[in-house]
Each structure stands twice: as structure tokens, then as C-alpha cells.
A and B are shown apart, each in its own frame.
Chain A
């Protein structure tokens, strides 16, 4: 506990090293370095978590590939038609029966790293291009959820009372549905398609961000700088979004990392069940569903590579999210 002299000024800070967590606090203070800002400190702690760092690298690669594919798609690279472009060794939808004798595709080779599928299409190219969909889903769906959640959350926490009750009860109702079934229900009604996927996932995920944020808002609300802003005559809206919200973001970043991972899996699951994206869009989930039966026939490469891509991506987001959480948690260190 910080010690204060009788005028209330903080004289020294507590350095009792009786538990490991206190030791870490001590260590952070007295490692002979200048006091670090919040982000630098978080980064330093994150660096120690090798798994999280690996996750972060994978995420960066994934985002880079996805973005490139999206740009290529919009710019019509390789096809000349905007909206169908791609950036891969082979056209992802180019059928080539010669490469698929017996209709079972051909195994990985030097010219086709991941082999070809039952229509002779290059699996590597398809996997690469499908990255675009996963990235889009992750980013857009989570953004939709964030926008809704980070408006309703702070409003709920700041105003309290009836507003809070209504918003939180609504969140409760959204939480009551098992996630994937809820998404399925919406998709059944909306019909398959990329934008429907964004909307379905986005609209159903807002509740966790809202609830998470509301908790932080409640504690920040009582702090002095909020009083100060109010005394200066700032409007409620300004206080909420300019002063309170930015200071509650730390746990949200963790939630975002996990949320993107979750959105990617959800899209894959939807596509696997046939109610996600539709051709000509290709996503890993759809590929897995399409190639499932060929596994039994011995053509393992078609299913395996998209599966690995999916698993590795999700794993990266989970590891990074966990690492981020551990790095920002004041209690759970080392």
C-alpha cells in the first residue's frame, strides 16, 4: 500500500517482496531503467512469452497475405476484372482435368506445392486466395461488433440506472443463445453470402465487448479526471467518448484478438455447414467441406492444407490474445 505522510502526500511506495507478484512489481520498478509507458511495459512482458510472439508473427503474415489478396481482388489483378483478381501461382478456379486423373487430384509436387484438387485446381493457390475471406471476416465482423458494443457499453456504464439495466438485460438475452446456433439461425433467414456472414457474426458479438467495457467504465467513471471534465462543462457525450472510453481499452484489445480468432472459426464453420460464403468466393471452411469425402479415398492433401491454415491462424490469435492478457494483467505475472 502506498505510504503517506500525515499531509497525505505519498512518501514511498510499497516494496514488500513477499509474493512473486509483488516481486515482479518491484522488479519492474527497479530494473535500473527509466519508467516505461504502459505500452512499452506491455510489450516487454509480451516479448517474454514466446508463444505469443510466434502468434503475433503469424498474425502479421496472415494479415499481409489477406490484405494483398483483397487488394488484388479489388484491382482485378491477373483477370482484368475488378472483384475477381488474385495473386497466386495459378488461377484458383482454373479447372484442369489432366491434373486430376481418376478425379482424385494429384498429390503435392514441386510445381503444385499443395497438390491439386479433384478438378485439377491448384490447392496452394486456392488456400492462399481464401486467406482473403478469413481476414475480411475477422476484421469486418469484429468491427461491426465493436462499433455497437463500444457505443452501448460506455453509455450503459456511464449513465447507469434504467439505461444500464435495459442494455445489460438485452446483452443477457444475446448471451443466452449458444453462439453458433444463433449465427446459424440468422444465416438461415438471411441466406448465405459474404456480407450476410459479416452481419450475422457482427451483430451477435457486440454483447461481450459491451459488457466487458461497461465494467471498466464503471470504475473509471469514479475517477477524478472525469469530475474535472464535468466541472469544465464538458457534455456527457464528450466525457464518455473522449475521456472515459480511451482509458478502458486495455481488456478490449485482448477481446479483439480472441474475437477475430472466433470470427474466423465461425465463418469456417458456417461455410463447412454450407451456409456461409458461396462460390466463387473460396474460404478454408468451404474447402474442407468440399474435400472431405476425398480424404476417405486417399487424397489427403486437399483437406489437410486448408485445415492447417485455419488451425494455425486461429492458434495464432488465441496465443497472442492470451499473451496480451497475461502481459496487461497486473496480478498474474511470470
Chain B
């Protein structure tokens, strides 16, 4: 890959509410290089969106707060730069696209306006030129009739087109990093693949790093270079795409992979969801949040957060189960018989 763009170390974000402290993100670390795609995977509530918003300093305060961590963009720590500097980072160095394009676009402003806004703000262009560029961008993300479309309102676009418009908005200032938060969840399955293609295309063109947040492993398999699996606000495993898919070490990762439907399953086979409920983020155990749902739980799991264990090249896992026991357990899981080495 290219140069190192982002280094996040020990990010922790908490929400101080009436009912207690919600520990949404605890001690998360990752890096991102140019032209690299990082997939952050986990179920809802795992903290993946909060982590991304923390990066952008978009966590509402009150009640939220980034309580710990360093967020290095190049040589600047995004946690400590001024508000003014942060505003220059947003949309310019790091851009974000959100899950639901219908509610994430202002219904009373024209699409062209919303795209040109970024350009005028960050690139010092005049209105006329910014609108022209907006039309170009719409064309580039695959919206037909861009000249006309740029003067329309969000409600005149279809779901997939709106998401493309959001992507156009995000890349308008050639950001180094593009964060896509569940970009396909709100869309039809048939459109999902198209949107992923657009993101990939833009990544190639602008040579940016992409952070793709999703719960959908299928999407991750398509374009991610490396994957970070989160649960209960913590990273439980990270590694390259191949390592995660073919050599997963954490029981939660097994669960995720196991719940995917497979082409070679017969119709009568039931799908295997992960048993249990997501954790209560206020009363998290001091140990592994997955304890209780794991199925392989040991006494130390609840009390202490397991140390990082390196199990392969650039592949780490946080789990108390010794490695050989893990391999054994994994081997006995039905869906792994077919392809795990």
C-alpha cells in the first residue's frame, strides 16, 4: 500500500447519561494506509460507528466524550487540534458518507448546492465553478443526465442515486480518507453491489484510504484489504482479509462467518445465528464483552481483558483460549470443515 495516513491508538469514547456511563468504544487501535481499505465489522452496538464519529470529532458533547486515545492524521493528533483546524479536516482530508441517504441529505436544498458547498468551503472556488464541478462529480459517480440532476432535490433521486450523490459530495474535495458508514444497509440488494463498485472506483481514482463500516461480511469480502472485528466497544480480532476469512481465531468471528448463508447449503439447513443478546454497554464486564455468548468461556474471561496475541503476519486476536484449543474448537464447527486450512 502507500504511505501511512492514519494511526489510531487506544481510542475510548464514553457517553455520560442519566442512566449511567455508556462505554461505546474502549481501547480501539488501527491504522490506515493510502489506497488501503479497512473493513470495520461488528453487529449494531459494537461501537464501530461511534469510533468513526470520534475520528471526525462529531460526537455530541454533552453527553459524549472521547476520553482517551491518540488519533494521528499524518503528524497531527485530531484530538488536540483546534476546532477551526478540525473543520478544515472534515470534508477535506477526511470525508464521511452515512447510512441513510434519504435523511442525510437536506430536503430543501438542491443536490448541486449541497455538493458545491464543500467545494466552495475547502477549495476556494466561486459558485459558478463549484456547481460545474458538482455536475462533473455526479457524472463521475455514475448518475446519468448530471447537468439536469444537479439542480434537483434529494426527493427526486432514487435511493441508489442518493447514495451516489453522497459519495460525490464526499469525494468532492479529494479527501485522503473516506469513511463509509454502512453505505449499503439502507439500499436494495441489487443496488448494493453498484454502490460498492462506485466506492472502489473512487478509491482507485483518488488514491484514498477507505474505512468501510458494516455488519455485512459479504461486502467486506468484496473490497476490504484488512478487517477489524469489533464487539462491545472493543477490537476482538484484526487481520488481513484472507487471514480473517480463512484463519479466524476469535469465537465471535467464527460466529459471524458461520451465520453467513452459503451456496452449498441445502435449502433445508437452518442458518446459525449467534445465540444471545448484545451486551449492555453501561454494565460491561471488565473482561471480554463476549463472555456469556461465547460458548467457550473460561473463568478469567469476565474479569480481565485478554492481552493481544499475535497469531499471524499482521493478525492479532484478544482471547483467553489458548491457541491449540482454539484450533480444535474451530475445526469442529460445521461450516469450517469445507474450507479452513
Contact = CB atoms under 8 A, between A and B. Distances in A.
A–B contact with Cβ pairs below 8 Å: the answer is: yes
Interface of A: 1, 3, 5-7, 9, 11-20, 23, 26-28, 30-32, 48
B293 to A, nearest CB: 11
Contact of B19 (A3, A15, A32): A32
Nearest to B45: A15
Interface string B52-76: 0100001010011000000000000
Nearest to A14: B44
Nearest to A19: B60
A15 B43 CA distance: 9
Contact of A30 (B49, B273, B281): B281
Nearest to B216: A3
Contacts of B97: none
A142 to B, nearest CB: 34
Given A12-B45, A17-B24, A1 B185 contact: yes
20 contacts: A1-B185, A7-B271, A11-B274, A13-B45, A16-B49, A16-B99, A17-B22, A18-B49, A18-B58, A18-B181, A19-B60, A20-B60, A23-B63, A23-B64, A26-B22, A27-B282, A30-B22, A30-B282, A31-B20, A32-B19
Contacts of B277: 12
A28 B18 CA distance: 10
A5 to B, nearest CB: 5
A6 B189 CA distance: 13
B19 A18 contact: no
B173 interface: no
B133 to A, nearest CB: 29
A286 B278 CA distance: 62
B45 A32 contact: no
Interface in B226-249: none
Contacts of A14: 44
Nearest to A29: B280
A30 to B, nearest CB: 4
B282 A32 contact: yes
A166 to B, nearest CB: 32
A11 B19 contact: no
Contacts of A28: 19
A14 B281 CA distance: 13
B17 interface: yes
A26 B280 CA distance: 9
Given A3-B43, A16-B45, 7 more contacts: A5-B271, A13-B44, A17-B49, A18-B50, A18-B181, A23-B60, A26-B45
Interface string B190-216: 000000000000000000000000010
Contacts of A5: 259, 271, 273
A3 B217 CA distance: 14
Interface string B21-48: 0101000000000000000000111000
A48 B277 CA distance: 29
B272 to A, nearest CB: 9
A31 B273 contact: no
B215 A3 contact: yes
A42 B64 CA distance: 24
A331 to B, nearest CB: 12
A23 B53 CA distance: 14
B186 interface: yes
Contacts of A48: 18
Contacts of A26: 22, 45, 281
Which of A5, A13, A28, A30 is most buried by chain B, counting CB atoms within 10 A of its CB? Answer: A30
A31 B21 CA distance: 9
A272 B186 CA distance: 58
Given A7-B271, A12-B44, A16-B49, A32 B20 contact: yes
A18 B97 CA distance: 13
Name the 7 nearest CB pairs between A and B, nearest first: A15-B45, A31-B19, A30-B280, A16-B49, A15-B44, A27-B19, A14-B44
Interface in B249-286: 259, 261, 270-271, 273-274, 277-278, 280-283
Contacts of B22: 17, 23, 26-27, 30
B282 A31 contact: yes
A259 B17 CA distance: 34
B166 to A, nearest CB: 15
B258 to A, nearest CB: 11
Contacts of B290: none
Contacts of A1: 185-186
A28 B19 CA distance: 8
A26 B119 CA distance: 36
A265 B223 CA distance: 66
Nearest to A22: B49
B40 to A, nearest CB: 13
B18 A6 contact: no
B23 to A, nearest CB: 11
Contacts of B270: 7
B233 to A, nearest CB: 11
Contact of A18 (B53, B259, B261): B53
B15 interface: yes
Given A5-B259, A23-B15, A23-B63, A12 B278 contact: yes
A34 to B, nearest CB: 12
Nearest to A20: B60
